[in-house]
Homo-oligomer: A and B are copies of this chain.
Amino acid sequence: MPPKPSQPEPRTYRAHRDRQRARILTAAANRIDQQGIDRTTMAELIAASQLRTSTIYQYFANKDDIVWALLGKAMEDAALHSKKFVDDATTGLGKIAGLLDFMADELATNPARVRFMAQFDAMYARDWPVERLLILEGQFHDQGFQVFRTLIREGIADGSLRADLDPDLTLHAVMNAVIGAQRRLASLGAKVELEYGQSIDRLFRETIRILLFGLRATEETNNTEPSPGAKAGIGKTKKRSS
């Protein structure tokens, strides 16, 4: 007689596994935030999780697997969290503002998560397979990005945004700057406040404000001029030097 499949208390077993996994990930997130991914050893992580070495390996195949799980969780959480900010807004511009506002909020309330993403970008993004990344990023980015792009088009159409903007270019230029700024602030942490004498939150929100200002239409931009720098002699960028 073969064993009956018959889920024996599926909820209990599942729940236990999930709890153990969460325990490990929490411990890992803590250690990694304090020491960096590479400097966190499995031994430390294991000690922090209060489980035994071999037990850990029943839940994750190896250290990388843990880091990926952490990355996935971070992105999932961000997607979930950002959704609220975006959905609350009714207008398109409001949705963009919501997305950026979410990022400021994330920086303020969960700097460890942002720092983790910063580490990831700086040290691993180049090495790990794009496909894997895209799967994770897809969840989060597609949400706001589509809206963003559409909105820029609308903004240009109705004259509220500068006519010279290339929607796709603008989207990525702004998002990269916002993400880059956010992660750098999270990475430097207290050092920023000491060195710059400004609160991280205020600094980041000012960055967002300036960027949004930079997208707005002015009389000039809707007429002839291609760039704000032109008048002031900015932007006549030397085309490469070395």
Contact = CB atoms under 8 A, between A and B. Distances in A.
A10 interface: no
A28 interface: no
A188 B232 contact: no
Interface string A110-132: 10000100110111111000100
A187 B121 contact: yes
B191 A126 contact: yes
A73 to B, nearest CB: 15
Q: Which DSSP category, helix, strand, loop or mixed, fits chain A's interface?
A: helix
A69 interface: no
Number of copies: 4
B240 A105 contact: yes
Given A1-B12, A122-B183, A180-B183, 19 more contacts: A36-B38, A38-B39, A84-B241, A85-B241, A97-B233, A97-B234, A97-B235, A130-B191, A172-B192, A172-B198, A173-B207, A176-B181, A176-B207, A180-B184, A211-B211, A212-B234, A213-B214, A214-B215, A216-B218
Interface of A: 1, 12, 16, 36, 38-39, 81, 84-85, 89, 91, 93-94, 96-97, 100-101, 104-105, 108-110, 115, 118-119, 121-126, 130, 133-134, 160, 162, 166, 168-170, 172-174, 176-185, 187-189, 191-192, 194-198, 202-216, 218-219, 221, 227-229, 232-238, 240-242
